[in-house]
Amino acid sequence: MATHTAVRRSKHATLVASTVDTVPFSSKPKTIEVRNLDSTAVIFFRTDGTTPTVNGDDTDRLGPGESLEVGRRQRRSSTGAAHLVSHARVLGSRGELMTFKRSTPTDLPDPSSSSKGAVTLDALDARYRAIKRQSVILFGTSLEAQNGTGSNTLDQPASNTPGAVCGRGWFNWAEHFSGLRFNLIRNAGVSGNTSAQMLARLQTDVLAYDSDWVWIGGPVNDISGDVASSTTIANLTSILTAILAAGRRVVLLTCAPSTSYSTSGRKQALSDVNRWIRSLPGTTRGVVVVDAQRVLVDPATGYPATGMAADGIVHYSDAGATRVGKAVADALSTIVPPVSIPSVTIADPRCIISNPHFGTNGSGWSILDSGVTAAYAAADNTWANKVTLTLSGITTVISPGVQYVENISGGRFASGDVVQGVARFKWSNLVPLSIAAGCRPSVRIMPRKVDNSFGETAFNLATASSDVVVPVGFPSSGECVAITTKVTLPANTDRVYAAVMWTGAASGTVEVSDVSFYKVS
C-alpha cells in the first residue's frame, strides 16, 4: 500500500492507507499540517481520542500542503493524542476542488445519502463533484434566457430561438469549450429583470433547486434603467451571500457593453458596478468573476465590438456568446477537473450506428457537401480513430463533414428510442465565412421515416436565421466537445443519419474524435 507522511512541528508520522494510527505528542499541538502526500488520498483524523471515520461529520481531513489550526475546530484529549487515518478518499478541504485518482472504490459512500443543501462546501465530497458533470442554474436577464434549456432538452426543435441548444447562448459555448464539465439543469434568466427583481425571486427560482453552481449574468438592465450603482451592488451582495450560504459556487459576469449606455450617468454606473464585480475574487470566497465586458467591448467606443451583439445593442450574437462562453470555460479550467464524455463501443447495446469510431478507414462514412476531404487515422491518446476534415474554397453557408446512415434492419435502434450524439472537435487555421451568422462544430442526428420524411433533428448548436452576420469572433484554433439535444425516434423510423460537420467556415483543418451516437433510454 502507498504511504503518506504527516508532520506537526518536529513530530512526523508515516501512515499506511486504510489503517488507523495513534500519534502521541508531548504537548498539545496547535496545528496539523500535511507536508507530503505521495498517493491519491487525504488524511482523515480526530483530535479528541476517538476513531475517525471516512467523510464523518465529526471528522476532519487534510490534503497535500494543507494545515489545520486544531484549537479552532476540535477539542484535544487530555493526553494530547491525535488519531489519524489514511484512506483512499478525496474531499475538498475548505471548499477547494481537487482532482485525485481513486485507489479504493469500496471506500466511496453512496452520494445520495448526503444532503447537499444542508451543509457547507467544506463538508461536500469533491470526488462526486469531480467525476460527474457539475450542475448549473443560470440566473439573470434576457442574456441568460437566450441560452434556452440546454442539451438535456428532449424533442425541442433546434430552430427555436432560444432553441434547445442555442448558438447565442454563452452557457452553451462554455459547456462545449469546457469539454462538457457542466450541465444546465435550470435556466432562470428572465428578460428585462433588474437586480432587485432577481433578488426577489432568488429563493423560488434558484435556491429551491439543487445545483453545484449558479452562473449569474451582469446586471445590464440596472445600468440601462438608471438604477444607482450602490443599489445594484447591494442587491448583488445579498444575492451572492444567499447563494454561497446555500453551499453553491458562483460564476458572475461583468456587465456587457451596450449602446444604451450612452449617458454620463450610465457610463459611470457601468464603471462602478464592473469595478466592484472585478474586485470580488479578492474579498469573496467561492465567486469566479468572468469579464464579459472585456471580451465584447470595442475599446475605441465603449460599445459592443462589431458583430458581438445580435441586435446591435447588447444581446449576444453567436460570436459574442462564443467569446463569453470561452472566457468562462477558461476561467474554470483549473478549478473544475475534466470529466469523461459519453462514449460507446460497437459492442455496447446502446450504440445506434455500426461504425461509430471510423474503423476500417471510415468504412460506411461518406462525405457531406463540397469543399471538404476526409482522412481517417488512429486518434491521439485514445483507443478509437479520428477523421481529419480539410476545408477549402468554401464560399456559401454549408456544413461540410462526414455522415453515417444506419438502417433499422441492423437492429441497433427502434422507434421510441431516445438518442443523443457527441464528438470532440480540434481545429486549426480556421477562417470563418464572412457571410455566415455563425462558425461552429456540428453534430447532428436525423431520423428518417419509411415515407422518406424526416423526424425532429437533434443538433448541438443552432443559429437563428435572423441572427447577425458575424465575420469575426471565432478562434482560429481550439478544442471543444459538442453534444446534441436528445431526440425521440418517431414512429416508422427506418434509418438514422448521424453526422459530424463544421458550419460557417471558409477553410481550415478539423479533427473529429471520440464520436458516439447512442441511446439515452
DSSP code of 271? H
Domain around 92: 3-111
* Shared domain check, 74 and 7: yes
Q: Is residue 468 part of a domain?
A: yes
Spatial separation of the C-alpha atoms in residues 147 and 128, rounded to whole Å:
26
Q: Which SS3 state, helix, strand or coil, does residue 472 take?
A: coil
Instruction: Show the cell assigned to 75.
Output: 477539542
What residues of the chain score a pLDDT lower than 50?
A: 1-11, 38-40, 70-130, 158-164, 468-471
> Grid coordinates standing for 99?
482532482
Tell me, yes or no, whether 192 and 96 share the same domain: no
**501, part of any domain:** yes
CA pair distance 467, 167, nearest whole angstrom: 10
Q: Which amino acid is at 400?
A: P
- Number of C-alpha atoms within 13 angstroms, CB side, residue 307? 17
CATH code of the domain containing 315: 3.40.50.1110
Residues 96-119: pLDDT tens digits?
332 222 223 333 233 333 333 333
Alpha-carbon gap, residue 192 to 159, rounded angstroms: 23
Half-sphere exposure of 85 (CA within 13 A, CB side): 21
Q: Identify the burial level of 500 via C-beta atoms within 10 angstroms of its C-beta, where 0-12 means exposed, 13-18 middle and 19 or more buried.
A: buried
Residues 283 and 136 reside in one and the same domain: yes
Choose among 496, 503, 500: nearest CA to 513.
Answer: 500
**C-alpha closest to that of 162 among 141, 133, 134, 176:** 141
Q: Give residue 492's Cα distance to chain centre.
A: 36
List pLDDT tens digits, range 63-96: 555 555 544 443 333 344 444 443 322 233 333 3
For residue 395, the domain's CATH number is 2.60.120.260
Q: Which three cell numbers stand for residue 302?
A: 465603449
Q: Are 500 and 515 in contact (CB under 8 A)?
A: yes
Question: What is the reported pLDDT for 34?
Answer: 59
| Residue 298 sits in the same domain as residue 432 | no
* Residue 67 lies inside a defined structural domain of this protein: yes
Structural domain contains residue 120: no
Question: Strand pairing partners for 493?
Answer: 449
- Burial of residue 360 (CB within 10 Å: 0-12, 13-18, 19+) is exposed
Does residue 99 sit in the same domain as residue 139? no
CB 19 within 8 Å of CB 8: no
User: Can the peptide bond before residue 490 be classed as cis, meaning omega within 30 degrees of 0?
Assistant: no
Does residue 118 belong to any structural domain of this protein? no
SS3 at position 478: strand
Say which DSSP state 257 is in: P
The count of domains in the chain is 3
What does the alpha-carbon distance between residue 341 and residue 423 come to, in Å, rounded to a whole number? Answer: 9
Angstrom distance (rounded) from CA 21 to CA 438:
60
Does residue 346 sit within a domain? no
Distance between CA atoms of 204 and 510, rounded to whole angstroms?
44
Report yes or no on 126 lying in a domain. no
Same domain, 101 and 207: no
Residue-level pLDDT at 56: 56
For residue 340, give the 3-state DSSP assignment.
Answer: coil
Query: What is the predicted pLDDT for the residue at 142?
Result: 95
Do 70 and 162 sit in the same domain of this protein? no
> Residue 29's pLDDT is what?
56
Domain membership flag for residue 123: no
